[in-house]
């Protein structure tokens, strides 16, 4: 059947390159494997040449897929499901890339793109490590390629094709008007592209229409991709029995991975701060946690690797940390893409049927190093037989808990083999040595990661074992109450460990170096605690004391590291990468503690206007602003001036003017809100005003229903005398007095005209009171009523007539009078410390990475 208007060539080319990339990655994997295992030099050269060309073809294919997908999106070819589902004609060009990685297929493609870039760099620089390392990289590429192939094998779907046509996707199977009514079949109408529902796409989720979502995912997936490289070197070293030699190459790559992944995570925090109503930058969201945990383990591995380079110790721990870090990357991908976290995270994808592939990817990553760890051929064969033999049993029985047990068995097997195959130094470490406390710090990072991933994996536990364990009532505090103590220990170790020497440190030497920074830190920290108004009392005195202690320790980390750069390294920044990174880490901790523990709610509900709020919102902390009325909000007067909407978009911007009562600050914020068409309920994008010492952060919590029915309320009449009371839905009113005048000094009044003014005192249920003065004019015997409105109470009053000592009051109680917006506002003190600390940490890591690369080149020369 012919479908007029379809552009099939881009999709056909795209799918050709999808298949080509998958085949080329498989050929590259096999060829690099042969190049590694071949004993004949000529064969090694042949296989390596074939592998290189295969990987280059695979890379070109991935770049072509990317280009064709961009073409389909920019040309609005809505016959393709991906274009229709993730873009629209009104989507700004700068968000086209965000629409690519909104979908699972595009995010896997982005991940694969970075693997290609890193792989090409390794081909150029890998030298003798190229073949074994690129075997692992190419195989990882093959695994990612299966995620976008979109075919069925034995009724099992393998991946999701980004170039599938909308009419073939099944998305309109039950859509009215889309089909031709045949007796034997129900195909899509040939002219379906001319139907109204095909004139435009579904659009990109408005929450993702933010500049951070253009740059955050590329950095995050660069971090994901770069964690593969240390893992690949570890596997290569185990494979060719040169683990010790591989560590020299691992360190620069591990530092790069930690910087890229760390920046990606904090860009996500910045996006949440600007686009989500978390009330901040971090909410221990499961998807946030899933990316944080591999970074923590990666940092642990970097520190144990430094121990190994200086002392020869901790090689087993280093290998294990890098293996686990990459495995956690795959596990986090499984969490976010399996649909398990759909009810607990705003970031999670829905299930596209890739769970089996992701499980196999995790399975291979955890079993393969254990098999390579094995000391002899028999142990290696036993591991291979067990790992492969379990798979058909899992598939046939389909028991999820068996899969979990198989993964645990792989972890145990790998740890056992590593403990018996990697040589170690048997003597105990001196407790006065730098390596001892560095190892303790690495363990703290690792334990922190384990605790976070266990808490985050609760939905997986419930699904695997058929349980219904509820998450903590206050998830944020459940994490904070543990991680605060990790922060205390790590901050102390960050401050003091570098003042120790490797292997042994003299008592006098240590205290001579550390004494002045310690005293200075104590003085500054005491002053901040005493006068800095760090008064977090919500969770009791113990938690408050722990925040104070963590704050003192973070200041200690900052000052001790700054002192070490100046005194210990004599200001030589090229040698100070670690100290610079530690200083930045201390600033990050301090920024988190001060901005979060001293966070002040500004939007206390002083006017008591009742509006519908989400269940998670406290009415006492949400202030309703009536358009045009200046409202008291603590240190500010706030006025809701106006609102404006984007053309053809459901997003509305609310212009809020802030005037400080002391006259020192005045600014305007424009948070926006909309009723999300992909998720139920109000979605709000915050806005913030940045000062050097604080941020004012505002987001919308309630707006009038845009689809409410027309106003059908009417005035009711009640005769009243002075002192009489009338009731309305929000309280009551008292007629205090009314006055009739027969001589009004106005050119429009004639002799004999009368004016009656009434004064009503309105008392609302929440205790606030208002004054209303409606007016009645009698001109030439005709009554003209002038209403007065109490906007905050949705109340309209008028005087219908006056007779003697009484008036007939008209009372209208309506929900449609008030144009309002309800906001929640916070003050984050010194949050700039957090963002500055992130930058300094990354700069320190880059300095360290550059130095390690230079040292490797020097050694090679």
Q: What is the pLDDT of residues 368-394, one digit of tens each?
A: 776 766 655 666 566 666 656 565 555
Q: Find the range with the poorest average confidence among 41-45, 176-180, 738-742.
A: 176-180
What is the reported pLDDT for 348?
Answer: 46
What is the reported pLDDT for 791?
Answer: 76
Identify the band that residue 673 occupies on the pLDDT scale cut at 50, 70 and 90.
confident
Q: Find the range with the poorest average confidence among 66-80, 93-107, 161-175, 316-330.
A: 161-175
3-state secondary structure of 23: helix
Instruction: Give the closest residue to 65 by CA, choosing from 96, 20, 29.
Output: 20
Distance between alpha carbon 583 and the CA centroid of its chain, in Å? 25
Mean pLDDT computed over 648-659: 84
Q: How far apart are CA 378 and CA 425, in angstroms?
A: 26
Handedness of CA 373, 377, 383, 387 (dihedral sign): positive
Q: Find the range with the poorest average confidence among 10-19, 602-611, 623-632, 839-848.
A: 602-611
Residue predicted with more confidence, 789 or 497? 497
Backbone angles phi, psi at 378, to 5 degrees: -60, -45
Identify the band that residue 737 occupies on the pLDDT scale cut at 50, 70 and 90.
very high
Q: How far apart are CA 232 and CA 126, in angstroms?
A: 12
Q: What tokens appear for 471 in the block?
A: 């998450």
Q: How far apart are CA 184 and CA 684, in angstroms?
A: 48
Instruction: Give the closest residue to 479 by CA, choosing from 445, 448, 440, 444.
Output: 448
Tell me the sheet residues that pair with 657.
639, 668
What is the reported pLDDT for 588?
Answer: 94
Q: Which residues contact 44 (CB under 8 A, 6 or more apart)?
A: 35, 38, 131
Q: Find the range with the poorest average confidence among 47-56, 113-122, 432-441.
A: 432-441
Provide the H-helix boundaries in 598-676.
Answer: none
Return the axis-axis angle of helices 41-74 and 9-37, rounded to nearest 10°. 160
Residue predicted with more confidence, 166 or 221? 221
Mean pLDDT computed over 805-816: 86
Identify the band that residue 504 occupies on the pLDDT scale cut at 50, 70 and 90.
confident
Instruction: Give the closest residue to 262 by CA, choosing from 207, 312, 223.
Output: 223
What is the reported pLDDT for 678?
Answer: 47
pLDDT tens for each residue of 675-703: 654 445 677 888 889 988 888 999 998 88
What is the reported pLDDT for 80?
Answer: 93
What is the reported pLDDT for 297?
Answer: 96
Mean pLDDT computed over 590-594: 89
Q: What tokens appear for 328 in the block?
A: 């956690």
Q: How far apart are CA 400 and CA 464, in angstroms?
A: 5
The residue written with tokens 């080149």 in the block is 857
pLDDT tens for each residue of 258-268: 999 999 999 98
Residue 491's Cβ-side half-sphere holds a number of Cα atoms within 13 Å equal to: 29
CB 190 within 8 A of CB 2: yes
Mean pLDDT computed over 632-653: 83
The residue written with tokens 């890229």 in the block is 260
- Mean of pLDDT over the chain: 84
Q: How far apart are CA 692 and CA 640, in angstroms?
A: 25
Q: What is the DSSP letter of 241?
A: T
What is the reported pLDDT for 145?
Answer: 92
Identify the band that residue 25 occupies on the pLDDT scale cut at 50, 70 and 90.
very high
Burial class (CB in 10 A: 0-12, 13-18, 19+), 417: buried
Identify the band that residue 740 occupies on the pLDDT scale cut at 50, 70 and 90.
confident
Integer angstrom CA distances of residue 595 from 599, 658, 828: 6, 21, 5
Mean pLDDT computed over 418-438: 73
Counting residues of the chain whose pLDDT is more than 90, the rounded percentage is 39
What is the reported pLDDT for 167?
Answer: 85
What is the reported pLDDT for 182?
Answer: 45
pLDDT tens for each residue of 765-779: 878 888 999 988 887
Q: How far apart are CA 570 and CA 572, in angstroms?
A: 6
Angle, CA of 226, 304 and 428, to the nearest 5° = 165
Identify the band that residue 340 occupies on the pLDDT scale cut at 50, 70 and 90.
low
Residue predicted with more confidence, 819 or 525? 525
Integer angstrom CA distances of residue 208 from 122, 204, 701: 34, 7, 19
Q: How far apart are CA 386 and CA 303, in angstroms?
A: 34
CB 783 within 8 A of CB 800: yes
Q: Where are the beta strands (DSSP E) in 127-181?
A: 151-153, 156-158
Mean pLDDT computed over 442-461: 89
What is the reported pLDDT for 382?
Answer: 63
Tell me the sheet residues that pair with 669.
656
Instruction: Give the closest residue to 107 by CA, choosing from 86, 93, 123, 122.
Output: 86
3-state secondary structure of 751: coil
What is the reported pLDDT for 539?
Answer: 74
The residue written with tokens 């493609």 in the block is 109
Q: Which of 31-35, 196-200, 459-463 has the highest mean pLDDT?
A: 31-35
Identify the band that residue 709 occupies on the pLDDT scale cut at 50, 70 and 90.
low
Q: How far apart are CA 121 and CA 853, in angstroms?
A: 14
Mean pLDDT computed over 195-215: 83
Mean pLDDT computed over 342-354: 50
Identify the band that residue 367 occupies on the pLDDT scale cut at 50, 70 and 90.
confident
Q: What tokens appear for 687 in the block?
A: 């806005």
Mean pLDDT computed over 418-437: 72
Instruction: Write the DSSP string, 62-77.
Output: HHHHHHHHHHHHHTT-
Q: How many other C-beta atoms lie within 10 A of the C-beta of residue 355?
A: 16
Q: What tokens appear for 552 in the block?
A: 């003192």
Tell me the sheet residues that pair with 632.
637
Q: How far apart are CA 382 and CA 378, in angstroms?
A: 6
**Total number of residues shown for the chain:** 861
What is the reported pLDDT for 648?
Answer: 61
Q: Which residues contact 328 (CB under 8 A, 6 or more apart)?
A: 293, 294, 297, 449, 453
């Amino acid at each position: 059947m012919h479908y007029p208007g379809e552009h099939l060539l881009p999709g056909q080319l795209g799918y050709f390159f999808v298949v080509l990339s998958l085949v080329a990655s498989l050929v590259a994997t096999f060829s690099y494997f042969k190049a590694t295992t071949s004993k004949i030099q000529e064969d090694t050269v042949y296989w390596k040449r074939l592998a290189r060309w295969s990987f280059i073809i695979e890379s070109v294919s991935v770049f072509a897929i990317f280009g064709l997908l961009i073409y389909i999106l920019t040309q609005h070819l809505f016959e393709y499901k991906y274009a229709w589902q993730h873009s629209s004609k009104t989507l700004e060009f700068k968000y086209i890339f965000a629409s690519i990685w909104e979908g699972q297929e595009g995010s896997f493609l982005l991940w694969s793109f970075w693997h290609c870039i890193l792989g090409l760099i390794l081909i150029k620089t890998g030298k003798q490590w190229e073949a074994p390392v690129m075997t692992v990289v190419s195989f990882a590429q093959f695994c990612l390629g299966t995620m976008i192939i979109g075919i069925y094998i034995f009724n099992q779907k393998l991946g999701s094709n980004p170039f599938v046509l909308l009419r073939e996707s099944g998305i309109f199977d039950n859509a009215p008007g889309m089909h031709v009514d045949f007796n034997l079949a129900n195909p899509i109408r040939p002219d379906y592209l001319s139907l109204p529902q095909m004139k435009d796409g579904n659009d990109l989720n408005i929450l993702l229409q933010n500049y951070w979502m253009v740059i955050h995912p590329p950095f995050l997936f660069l971090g994901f991709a770069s964690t593969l490289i240390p893992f690949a070197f570890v596997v290569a070293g185990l494979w060719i029995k040169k683990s010790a030699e591989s560590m020299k190459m691992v360190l620069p790559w591990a530092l790069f991975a930690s910087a890229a992944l760390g920046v990606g995570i904090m860009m996500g925090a910045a996006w949440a701060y600007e686009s989500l109503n978390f009330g901040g930058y971090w909410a221990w969201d499961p998807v946030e946690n899933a990316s944080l945990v591999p970074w923590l383990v990666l940092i642990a591995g970097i520190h144990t690797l430094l121990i190994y380079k200086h002392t020869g110790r901790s090689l087993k721990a280093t290998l294990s940390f890098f293996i686990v870090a990459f495995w956690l990357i795959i596990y986090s991908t499984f969490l976010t893409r399996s649909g398990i976290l759909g009810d607990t995270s705003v970031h999670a994808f829905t299930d596209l049927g890739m769970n089996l592939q992701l499980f196999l990817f995790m399975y291979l990553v955890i079993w393969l190093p254990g098999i390579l760890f094995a000391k002899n051929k028999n142990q290696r064969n036993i591991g291979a037989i067990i790992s492969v033999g379990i798979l058909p049993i899992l598939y046939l029985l389909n028991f999820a808990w068996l899969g979990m047990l198989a993964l645990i068995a792989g972890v145990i097997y790998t740890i056992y083999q590593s403990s018996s195959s990697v040589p170690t130094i048997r003597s105990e470490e001196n407790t006065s040595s730098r390596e001892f406390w560095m190892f303790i710090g690495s363990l703290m990072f690792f334990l922190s990661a384990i605790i976070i991933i266990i808490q985050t994996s609760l939905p997986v536990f419930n699904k695997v074992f058929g349980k219904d364990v509820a998450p903590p009532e206050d998830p944020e505090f459940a994490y904070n109450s543990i991680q605060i103590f990790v922060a205390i220990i790590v901050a102390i170790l960050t401050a003091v460990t570098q003042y120790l020497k490797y292997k042994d440190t003299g008592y006098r030497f240590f205290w001579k170096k550390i004494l002045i920074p310690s005293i200075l830190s104590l003085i500054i920290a005491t002053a901040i605690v005493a006068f800095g108004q760090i008064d977090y009392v919500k969770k009791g005195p113990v938690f408050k004391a722990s925040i104070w202690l963590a704050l003192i320790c973070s200041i200690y980390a900052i000052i001790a590291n700054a002192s070490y750069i100046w005194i210990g390294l004599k200001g030589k920044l090229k040698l100070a990468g670690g100290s610079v990174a530690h200083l930045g880490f201390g600033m990050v901790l301090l920024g988190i503690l001060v901005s979060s523990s001293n966070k002040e709610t500004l939007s206390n509900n002083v006017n008591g206007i009742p509006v519908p709020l989400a269940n998670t919102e406290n009415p006492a902390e949400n202030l309703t602003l009536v358009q045009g009325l200046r409202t008291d909000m603590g240190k500010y007067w706030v006025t809701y001036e106006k609102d404006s909407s984007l053309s053809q978009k459901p997003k509305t911007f609310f212009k809020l003017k802030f005037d400080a009562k002391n006259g020192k600050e005045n600014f305007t914020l424009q948070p926006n809100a909309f009723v999300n068409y992909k998720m139920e309920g109000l979605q709000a994008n915050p806005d913030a005003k940045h000062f050097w010492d604080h941020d004012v952060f505002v987001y919308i919590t309630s707006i009038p229903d845009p689809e409410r029915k027309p106003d059908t309320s009417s005035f009711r009449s009640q005769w009243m005398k002075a002192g009489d009371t009338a009731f309305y839905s929000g309280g009551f009113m008292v007629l205090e007095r009314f006055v009739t005048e027969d001589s009004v000094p106005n050119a429009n009044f004639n002799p004999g005209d009368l004016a009656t003014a009434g004064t009503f005192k309105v008392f609302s249920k929440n205790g606030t009171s208002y004054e209303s003065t409606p007016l009645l004019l009698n001109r030439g015997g005709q009554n003209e009523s002038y209403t007065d409105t109490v906007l905050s109470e949705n109340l309209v009053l008028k005087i219908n007539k006056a007779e003697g000592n009484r008036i007939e009051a008209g009372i209208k109680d309506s929900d449609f009078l008030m144009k309002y917006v309800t906001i929640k506002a916070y003050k984050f003190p010194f949050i700039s410390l957090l963002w500055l600390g992130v930058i300094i940490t990354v700069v320190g890591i880059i300095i360290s990475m550059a130095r390690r690369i230079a040292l490797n080149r020097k050694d090679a020369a």
